[in-house]
């Protein structure tokens, strides 16, 4: 009788019980992992939502905040200077500077920024584009380039043509003149407090959106 049962199984007469068990076990594990992940994402979302935002800081008087800047990768501030249009975009440094003991500088405080300054004139196809390092007490120019005018899609554009020499290869008199050029247009360390606070708010908003979107994906909700 035992032999007949074994033969029946081998011949496909009955379903192999361990395969059914394996499939049920896999489904249970997958559901448990999803639930655990969703709980974790929700907990982090709630924790981030309770973070105290930085004090509200206004930009220097001559600058205006662009509408929708928090939800885009484009310019943050703009102003007019004579017949010129000036726009400013900002981002954090990609790498956190560490001190000699290997600790994050100022416990992760945003104290170094990359600032893109775009100066355009009516009727001209190119604009003068500055990449600067902005600090609480100073601003330094990394590069100056002539580029096509920035589009509404943002400031990260890869030029097709030669845009100019390395800034460090220019003579000191020319470098000083470029610094005076942007300072005359209000591009200096006075921008730092607003741009620092603005980045904190943007990072906070992006983090909350990420936790919510990741949870929606796990749940199969496309527009979470």
For residue 168, the number of C-alpha atoms closer than 13 Å in the C-beta half-sphere is: 1
pLDDT per residue as tens digits for the range 46-66: 888 888 877 889 999 999 999
Read off the pLDDT band of 25 (50, 70, 90). Answer: low
pLDDT, residue 219, reads: 84
pLDDT, residue 28, reads: 64
Contact 192, 135 (CB under 8 A): yes
pLDDT per residue as tens digits for the range 120-133: 999 998 999 999 99
Q: Where are the alpha helices (DSSP H) in the chain?
A: 2-10, 17-49, 172-184, 192-219
Nearest C-alpha neighbor of 192 from the set 128, 108, 132, 126: 132
Read off the pLDDT band of 15 (50, 70, 90). Answer: low
Distance separating alpha carbons of residues 61 and 58, to the nearest angstrom: 8
Instruction: Return the ∠ at Cα 128 (arms to 72 and 140), rounded to 5°.
Output: 80
Spatial CB neighbours of 61, under 8 Å, sequence gap ≥ 6: none
Task: Give the number of other Cβ atoms within 10 Å of residue 14's Cβ.
Answer: 9
pLDDT, residue 95, reads: 37
Give the residue, 14 or 40, on which the prediction is more confident. Answer: 40
Determine the 3-state secondary structure of 44 from DSSP.
helix
Distance separating alpha carbons of residues 71 and 208, to the nearest angstrom: 13
Range picked from 3-7, 72-76, 151-155 for highest mean pLDDT: 72-76
């Amino acid at each position: 009788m035992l032999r007949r049962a074994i033969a029946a199984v081998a011949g496909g007469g009955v379903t192999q019980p361990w395969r059914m068990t394996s499939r049920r076990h896999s489904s249970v594990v997958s559901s448990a992992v999803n639930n655990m992940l969703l709980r974790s994402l929700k907990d982090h979302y709630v924790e981030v939502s309770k973070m105290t935002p930085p004090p509200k800081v206004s930009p220097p008087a001559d600058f205006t905040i662009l509408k929708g800047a928090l939800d885009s990768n484009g310019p943050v501030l703009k102003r007019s200077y004579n017949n010129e249009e000036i726009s400013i975009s900002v981002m954090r440094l990609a790498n956190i500077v560490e001190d000699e003991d290997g600790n994050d500088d100022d416990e992760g405080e945003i104290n170094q920024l990359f600032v893109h300054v775009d100066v355009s004139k009516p009727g001209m196809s190119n604009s003068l584009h500055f990449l600067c390092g902005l600090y609480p007490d100073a601003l330094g120019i990394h590069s100056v380039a002539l580029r096509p005018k920035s589009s509404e899609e943002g400031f990260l554009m890869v030029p097709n043509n030669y845009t100019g020499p390395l800034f460090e290869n220019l003579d000191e008199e020319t470098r000083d003149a470029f610094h005076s050029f942007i300072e005359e247009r209000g591009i200096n360390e006075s921008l730092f407090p607003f741009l620092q606070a603005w980045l904190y708010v943007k990072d906070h908003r992006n983090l909350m959106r990420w936790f919510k979107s990741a949870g929606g994906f796990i749940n199969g909700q496309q527009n979470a």
